[in-house]
Amino acid sequence: MIPTWCMAFPDGHETGSYLALDMGGTNLRVCEVTLTSEKGEFEIIQSKYRMPEELKTGSADELWGYVADCLQQFIEYHHEDEKLDHLPLGFTFSYPVTQDAIDHGVLQRWTKGFDIAGVEGEDVVPQFNRALEERHLPIKLVALVNDTTGTMIASAYTDTDMKVGCIFGTGCNAAYMEDCGSIPKLAHLNLDKDLPMAINCEWGAFDNEHAVLPRTPYDVIIDKESPRPGQQSFEKMIAGLYLGEIFRLVLLDLHKGNECTMFADQDVSKLDKPYSLDASFLAAIEEDRFENLTDTADLFAAKLGISPTKPELELIRRLAELIATRAARLTAVGVSAICRHKKWDNVHVGADGSVFTKYPHFKIRQAQALKEILGWEGKFGKGRGDPIEVLPAEDGSGVGAALIAALTVKRARAGQLAGIRDCDSLVEIGRKMK
């Protein structure tokens, strides 16, 4: 439950040009988002750059230097010979940070294969700024953004019913808009109790105490074998990263146990490899339209070198359904909890991530579970027109990050300076934009 210092929803009338930067595990994306005078409309130009592998284990100077070089290339290409004056930037930095302000973020630790000395435990913003200054780039970092918050804000720009942003992908997390008066841990700051504050829930860590989640022996193994046992308990049951692994563990257990015959006399060495199956493998099984599951048989032969019998294929299909359905139903628990906490009966939830956008039946299973939890009447729970409806989100790390930059400039101009470190620069940018 991390306050993100994103303290407003867009009203659709934001205008101006903003940069958005998204530093992921494989790519670096730079966008220029122009919010037009048409309500809720925007134009976007973007470039994608590869994150070189060697950079991920190099030095901090090399990392920030590369990021700044990409920004410079983008600016030179799209604004050749133009005299620019401090383009505001929203930076989607998808690593765990704690924020005392929107332009501040102390990296807890690297994830996604990054291991760069001198960044963990430090505020990444001054390091990033130094690289910009060395290159005399006309860019001002305004907001460090979490992808869930970006997803919520981008969705709210075009749909004012959007109150929650979720990522159902390799990982799983959500953000929603709280009011400052309901955040006791910020009480000492004496913020206006009616001001909104986006909260990054970091709900992957829900029930790390194992009080209520119905964990199976397979979930216990996943946790024990993971790099960080005891953490991200909720995420380990629902996120795309783990769905294929749960599936693999069950099949291997059935093969090795003596309660049934499974893959008798077959070479299971490929199935023996941890994390060799991802969520798309389960999705493909569930997409098999043939009664005799021929696609699934082909998939097992090609990927695992196993030829399952017909009854084994039936078990495989049912297992994929069970694991993915449990995941979808548990995500509904999180969504329902936010809405119940806020006493929201009719809201939209913006969702992104590969599991949400690509996994078959995910949305309807989630809607059905929401119906069961919230006791909706019969006609609801189909995933369309429901009181609480989870909808595909707008581009959170691009448009969302740009919007959060815009909203931050806007509130600085209006004199709402809580949670902004470099107030003077923002007020100055805001003054020049109008």
Could you give the residue numbers annotated as active site? Answer: 94, 109, 147
Give 326 or 410: the residue with its C-beta nearer to another protein.
Answer: 326
* 197 in Cβ contact with 4 (< 8 Å): yes
Burial-class residue 384 by CB neighbours within 10 Å (0-12, 13-18, 19+): exposed
56 is a contact residue toward another protein (CB under 8 A): no
Q: Estimate the crossing angle of helix 423-433 against helix 401-413, to 10 degrees.
A: 90
Give least dist CB 258 to another protein, A.
Answer: 10
Contact residue for another protein among 204, 244, 350, 430 (CB under 8 A) = 204
Give 245 or 312: the residue with its C-beta nearer to another protein.
Answer: 312
Give 140 or 365: the residue with its C-beta nearer to another protein.
Answer: 365
Per CB under 8 A, which region of 37-45, 59-67, 83-91, 363-371 contacts another protein? 363-371
Give least dist CB 157 to another protein, A.
Answer: 20
Task: Give the Å distances, CA to CA, from 411 to 143, 145, 414.
Answer: 12, 16, 5
Residue 345 CB coordination number (10 Å): 11
* 374 in Cβ contact with 336 (< 8 Å): yes
* 43 in Cβ contact with 84 (< 8 Å): no
Residues 328-347 that bind another protein (CB under 8 A): 329-330, 332-334, 336-338, 340-341
205 is a contact residue toward another protein (CB under 8 A): yes
Task: Give the Å distances, CA to CA, from 366 to 104, 264, 395.
Answer: 35, 36, 22
Residues 299-318 that bind another protein (CB under 8 A): 310-312, 314-315, 317-318
Give 27 or 36: the residue with its C-beta nearer to another protein.
Answer: 27
What stretches of 321-412 adopt beta strand conformation (E)? 347-352, 388-392
Q: Estimate the crossing angle of helix 124-134 against helix 60-78, to 10 degrees.
A: 50
Give 323 or 429: the residue with its C-beta nearer to another protein.
Answer: 323
Contact residue for another protein among 36, 59, 231, 346 (CB under 8 A) = 231
82 is a contact residue toward another protein (CB under 8 A): no
Tokens standing for 345?
């009966």
Give 167 or 405: the residue with its C-beta nearer to another protein.
Answer: 167
Nearest in space to 89 (alpha carbons), one of 144, 156, 41: 144
Give 200 or 425: the residue with its C-beta nearer to another protein.
Answer: 200
Pairing of strands 162-168, 347-352: parallel
Give least dist CB 429 to another protein, A.
Answer: 28
Residues 98-127 that bind another protein (CB under 8 A): 98, 108-109, 111-112
70 is a contact residue toward another protein (CB under 8 A): no
Per CB under 8 A, which region of 13-21, 56-64, 76-84, 231-239 contacts another protein? 231-239
Nearest in space to 25 (alpha carbons), one of 62, 56, 54, 70: 56
433 is a contact residue toward another protein (CB under 8 A): no
Size of the residue set binding another protein (CB under 8 A): 92
55 is a contact residue toward another protein (CB under 8 A): no
Residues 157-196 that bind another protein (CB under 8 A): 167, 169-173, 178, 182-185, 187
Tokens standing for 20?
């958005």
Contact residue for another protein among 248, 326, 410, 411 (CB under 8 A) = 326
Give least dist CB 403 to another protein, A.
Answer: 19
Give least dist CB 390 to another protein, A.
Answer: 15
Per CB under 8 A, which region of 32-40, 75-83, 362-370, 387-395 contacts another protein? 362-370
User: CA torsion angle for 322, 326, 329, 334 (degrees, to 10)?
Assistant: -170
Task: Please give the Cα distance from 28 to 20 (Å, whole number).
Answer: 11
Give 211 or 302: the residue with its C-beta nearer to another protein.
Answer: 211
Residues 247-276 that bind another protein (CB under 8 A): 250, 254, 259-262
DSSP string for 177-231: EEEGGG-GGGGGG---TTSEEEEE--GGGTTTT-SS----HHHHHHHHHSSSTTS
